[in-house]
A and B are shown apart, each in its own frame.
Chain A
Amino acid sequence: MSASKAQDSRLDAELQQALVARLTAMADDELILGHRDSEWTGHAPLLEEDIALANIAQDEIGHALLWLQARSELDGSDPDELAFFREVGAFRNARLVELPKGDWAFTMLRQYLFDAFETELLSRLRDSRYPPLAEAAAKAAKEEVFHLRHSGLWLERLALGTDESRSRLTSALQRIWPYLPQLWQPLPGDAALQRAGIAPNPADLEQPVMARVSAALAALGLEPPADAVPNPGGRDRHGEALVSLLVDMQSVARADPGVDAW
C-alpha cells in the first residue's frame, strides 16, 4: 500500500484525472457486461452452461471492483456509490456491452469480441508503470484466458453446427459489428497515460484485436459486414437499453439511499 502511495505522489493532477477516467471506462465495461451475462442465470440452454456463464459474470463484476478500487485509491470514491447512484449519462461503458443479451449466439459472439479486446488490453496493462494497475491486470488476465477459450469454443460450434445456429451467428455479427470501433476510441486523457507508460492507447489495440478476430472468423467461413460503420459516438453516449438496465440495477439501492450497508 505504501508503495502505491509513493507512486500516487508521482502522478500529477492531469495523470490522476486521466487514470480515473480510464479506470471508470474499464470498470463500466465490466460491470455492464457482467450484468448482461448474469441475466442468463436460470435460463441457459444447458445446466452446465448456466454454471459456466455465471462464473464469467462473477469474473467480470470482480474486474469492475478491481478497477473501481484502484480508482478509489486515487480519488476516495466509493465503488457502490458509483455503481448505484450515477445517472445514465455519467456511465462510460462502450455501447457494445449494454446491448440486450439477445439469443445465445448474440451473447457468445459479443462475449468473444469483448474477450479478444480485453485479452489484448490486459496483456499491455500488465506492463503498466503504475503497480496497482499492473497487479490488477495480471489477476484479470488469468481469468481472461478461460473466457476466450469458452467464447471461442462457442463461436466455432455455432458456426459449424446447424444451419440455424450459423444463421443466428451471422445475424448477430451484422448487429454487433458496428459497435466494435468504439473500443479503440481513446478517451481525452489516454494519450498522456500512454506517454507515462501507465496504460496503452486503445487505438493501438485495433490492429492486434482485429487480426485475431478476422482470422477466427475467416477460419469459420464467416465474413464481417462490409458496409461503412456508423460512429456510435463517445462513451458518454448511451442507448435506451442502458436506461432500463440501470433502472432495474439501481432500484433497491436507491429505495433507501442513506443506509450504512446492504
Chain B
Amino acid sequence: MATAPTPSGEGPRWEVFKQDTPSKPHQAVGSVHAADPEHALLMARSVYARRPAAVSLWVAPAEAVFAVTAEELAAAEPWSVEEAGEERLYQVFRKTSHRRAMTFVDHVGEVSAPGPRAAVAAARQAFPEPPALAWWVVPTARLSASPDDEAAAWFEPAADKTYKQQSAYGLLAPKKPGRSKGGDR
C-alpha cells in the first residue's frame, strides 16, 4: 500500500535511506520534507547524518515507495500482481526482525518487474530467507543518491563535532561534597 501524496506547504515527503559503513546495506531511517531530489538529499544529510557514521544517502519520493507488511500479504493471499506493464528495475528493502532498532527496512537487492505488486512477488521469490515482516519496493529511477565523490565532505565532518557526542562527557560529579539534606546517603 503506497503512501498517498498529500499537497503540502511543507513540500512532498521523501523516504531516506542511510548507509552507515561500506559493508552495511542502506537502511530506512525516516523521511524529510523537501521540494526536489537535490534538496531532499541535502536535508537528509542535515537531519540524519549529524552524527557519525554514514557513507551514503538515498532518497525517494514517499509516493514512489510501495510498502506491504507480512500481515497484509497474509490477508491478501493469493497475492495478485499487475498483468502487464513496462519492465522496470526496483530496489528491494525488507525488515526481518522485531528487535528494537532505529532503522526500519534494509536494502537487500533489486528485481525487475512490470509493476510494484509484481516486484513484491519477485522479491519474495528472490529473497525468501529469512521471512520478511515488511517489504518496500522502489523503482530505481526514482531513487537519488548522495554524490560518492563528495562523501568525505558530506559525512566526515560529523566525527569532529565531539561536543555533541555523549561519549565525550566523562563521569560528572561535584568537585567537593556539598551539604546533603535529610536521609542517609
A binding-site residues for B, Cβ under 8 Å: 46-49, 51-52, 55, 58-59, 62, 139, 142-146, 149-150, 153, 157
| A153–B42 alpha-carbon span in the complex (Å) | 9
- Whether the Cβ atoms of B153 and A139 lie closer than 8 Å is no
- Point out the residues of chain B lying under 8 angstroms from A150, CB to CB: 42
Answer yes or no: B10 CB below 8 A from chain A CBs: yes
> Please, what's the 1-or-0 string for B150-185, where 1 marks a CB less than 8 Å from any CB in chain A?
101110110011000000000000000000000000
| A48–B41 alpha-carbon span in the complex (Å) | 11
Least Cβ–Cβ distance between A50 and chain B, in angstroms: 9
| A51–B16 alpha-carbon span in the complex (Å) | 16
- Whether the Cβ atoms of A145 and B153 lie closer than 8 Å is yes
- Whether the Cβ atoms of B43 and A48 lie closer than 8 Å is yes
- Point out the residues of chain B lying under 8 angstroms from A62, CB to CB: 160-161
Which residue from B10, B11, B153 sits with its C-beta under 8 Å from A142? B153
- Point out the residues of chain A lying under 8 angstroms from B153, CB to CB: 142-146
Instruction: Across the interface, name the chain B residue whose C-beta is closest to A149.
Output: B42
- Whether the Cβ atoms of B33 and A46 lie closer than 8 Å is yes
Least Cβ–Cβ distance between B38 and chain A, in angstroms: 6
Describe B's contact surface by its main secondary structure.
Answer: helix
Number of interface residues of B (CB under 8 A): 22
- Whether the Cβ atoms of A157 and B35 lie closer than 8 Å is yes
Instruction: Across the interface, name the chain A residue whose C-beta is closest to B154.
Output: A146
Least Cβ–Cβ distance between B175 and chain A, in angstroms: 11
- Whether the Cβ atoms of B33 and A47 lie closer than 8 Å is yes
18 further A-B contacts with Cβ under 8 Å, apart from A48-B33, A52-B43, are A46-B10, A46-B11, A47-B33, A48-B32, A48-B34, A48-B47, A51-B43, A51-B47, A59-B157, A142-B153, A142-B156, A143-B153, A143-B157, A145-B150, A146-B150, A146-B154, A149-B42, A149-B150
Describe A's contact surface by its main secondary structure.
Answer: helix
| A143–B127 alpha-carbon span in the complex (Å) | 40
- Point out the residues of chain B lying under 8 angstroms from A48, CB to CB: 32-34, 43, 46-47
Instruction: Across the interface, name the chain A residue whose C-beta is closest to B14.
Output: A48
Least Cβ–Cβ distance between A123 and chain B, in angstroms: 13
- Point out the residues of chain B lying under 8 angstroms from A49, CB to CB: 43
Residue pairs across A and B with Cβ atoms less than 8 A apart, 22 shown, are: A46-B11, A46-B33, A48-B32, A48-B33, A48-B43, A48-B47, A51-B47, A51-B50, A52-B43, A55-B50, A58-B161, A62-B160, A139-B157, A142-B153, A142-B157, A144-B153, A145-B153, A146-B45, A146-B153, A150-B42, A153-B39, A157-B35
Least Cβ–Cβ distance between B43 and chain A, in angstroms: 4
| A134–B92 alpha-carbon span in the complex (Å) | 44
